[in-house]
Amino acid sequence: MTVPRRSKTQIAISTCRRFLGTRSWTRPKTMKGKSMYNSKAYSAASATSPLASTTIPRRDPTEHDVQIEIVFCGICHSDLHQVRNQWSGVMPTVYPCVPGHEIIGRVTRVGSAVSRFKPGDLAAVGCLVDSDRTCPECRAGLEQFCPNFTLTYNFPDKHLGGVTFGGYSDSVVVDQRFVLRVPSNLNLAGAAPLLCAGITTYSPMRHWGVTKGKKVGIVGLGGLGHMGVKFAHALGANVVVFTTSPGKKDDALRLGADEVVISRNANEMEKHVSSFDFILDAVAADHDIGAYINLLRRDGNITLVGAPENPLAVSAFGLIFGRRSLSGSPIGGIPETQEMLDFCGQHNITADVEVIPIQKVNEAYERLVKADVKYRFSIDMASLKSE
C-alpha cells in the first residue's frame, strides 16, 4: 500500500480537524429583521490587512442572554491564525473578522429568564458561546467536544446570521449557560487569559490526576506553559520546567517551578529518566517528543496542548515499555472552566500579562510571532472608547 505524501497545508488542516472533529463548515447567510444594536470593535478586513476600528451588530439580549461590557480581552495565538486565514482549509475566515475569546467584563443587561447574573456582576466568556446542549458530551458538561458547538468568533451565528464576533469589542451578548462567574479578588487584566490559556492547561492536569506529591513536567515556557507551571505548583506537584533558553530559568522558578532543565543538555535530561507522572507539552514548534516520553514513569502520560505543524515522530517502544500514554487536550467544558476560575480565586492565580490599548494590537501580533511577550497580551478595552 502506498501512502500519499501530504502537503504542509494538508497537515495543518488535519491538525485543526482534530480540534474541530468532523464538523462541516458552510458559509452562513445573514438574517434580516432581527433586533440588534451597534457595538464598537476592531476587525480585520482581509488576511493581509491590519486590524482597524469598526462597528459590528450585536443582538439585543433575548430572555436567556447576558449582555457584557468587555473590560479586558486577552490575545491568543488562535486570534492571529484566524485573522490571517491560516486555517483556511478547515475553518476559512469570514471577513470582517473580530477575534478574541478571552473575555472579562461586567454585566450590563440580562434577559427575563436569566437568574445567575445581574447588572454590575463580573462575568467572563471563553472559546465557546453555544452548543446543542443535548448530545452526550454536553450532558457530561464537556461542551468542548460537542459536534454542534458555536465558537466565540468566526463561527455561524444562529441569532443574527453571518459569523460570531469575538471580544475585541466593547460588548458581547451570550447565553447565560456559557457565561462564567469571576472571583472578585482576581486582577481582571490577568484573569482574561484564564479563559483560553488557563483552561487549556488546567483541564488535562485535572484529567490526568495532578495532585500533591506528583512529579510534573512543563515543556515550553510561553503563554500556555507559564499557566501550566502556576497550576501544577498550586495543585501541590513537584514542578520541572523544560526549556531551550537558559535565560528563562529565573522566571520559571519565580512562576513556581522547583527545578529547571535545559532540554538541550543530554546529561540533565538523563537524570530524570522514568520519573514523571505527567508532562504537559506546550510547544507548537517541531521537537523531539521521544525525549520526553522516556522521562515518564510507569503509566505516566504526556499531553499535547501545543500543535506543531508537522507530525511528531513517536517510537512505539517508548510507549510500550512503561505502559506510557500520549494524548492531546483542547480547552475545557463550561463546568470545568468555572471550577478553574474558582480555583484561581482561591489561589490568586492570574496570567502574567502586558496590558495594551487596542490601538497597539497590530504591533502586539508582530511581537506574538516572535514570542516577544511575557507571557500574554491583555487588551484594555477602555481604549476602544476613544475610537
Binding site residues, Zn ion, CB under 5 A: 76, 78, 131-132, 135, 138, 146, 196
Q: Which is nearer to Zn ion, 238 or 337 (CB)?
A: 337
Cβ 146 to Zn ion, closest distance in Å?
3
Q: Which is nearer to Zn ion, 64 or 109 (CB)?
A: 64
Strand partners for 151: 128
Cβ 27 to Zn ion, closest distance in Å?
23
Q: What is the DSSP letter of 360?
A: G
Cβ 331 to Zn ion, closest distance in Å?
8
How far apart (Å, rounded) are the C-alpha atoms in residues 138 and 333? 8
Q: Which is nearer to Zn ion, 196 or 234 (CB)?
A: 196
Cβ 62 to Zn ion, closest distance in Å?
20
- Give strand ranges (E) for 44-157: 52-59, 65-75, 103-110, 122-125, 128-130, 150-151
Nearest to 172 by CA among 250, 219, 221, 104: 104
Cβ 78 to Zn ion, closest distance in Å?
4
How far apart (Å, rounded) are the C-alpha atoms in residues 98 and 95? 8
Cβ 203 to Zn ion, closest distance in Å?
13
Cβ 132 to Zn ion, closest distance in Å?
4
Q: Which is nearer to Zn ion, 196 or 379 (CB)?
A: 196
Q: Which is nearer to Zn ion, 78 or 238 (CB)?
A: 78
Cβ 286 to Zn ion, closest distance in Å?
21
What is the SS3 assignment for 129?
strand
Q: Which is nearer to Zn ion, 34 or 367 (CB)?
A: 367
Q: How far apart are the first and last CA of the chain?
A: 60
How far apart (Å, rounded) are the C-alpha atoms in residues 182 and 106? 10
Cβ 378 to Zn ion, closest distance in Å?
13
Cell 492571529 sits at which residue? 80
Q: Which is nearer to Zn ion, 132 or 372 (CB)?
A: 132
How far apart (Å, rounded) are the C-alpha atoms in residues 73 and 380? 7
Nearest to 47 by CA among 81, 10, 91: 81
How far apart (Å, rounded) are the C-alpha atoms in residues 387 and 383? 8
Q: For residue 286, give the amino acid letter.
A: D
Q: Which is nearer to Zn ion, 21 or 246 (CB)?
A: 21
Q: For residue 340, give the amino acid letter.
A: M
262 membership: H or E segment, kind and range = strand 259-262
Nearest to 255 by CA among 280, 229, 235, 237: 229
Q: Which is nearer to Zn ion, 167 or 318 (CB)?
A: 167
Establish whether the linkage from the previous residue to 57 is cis, with ω within 30° of 0: no
Answer yes or no: are the C-beta atoms of 72 and 188 closer than 8 Å. yes
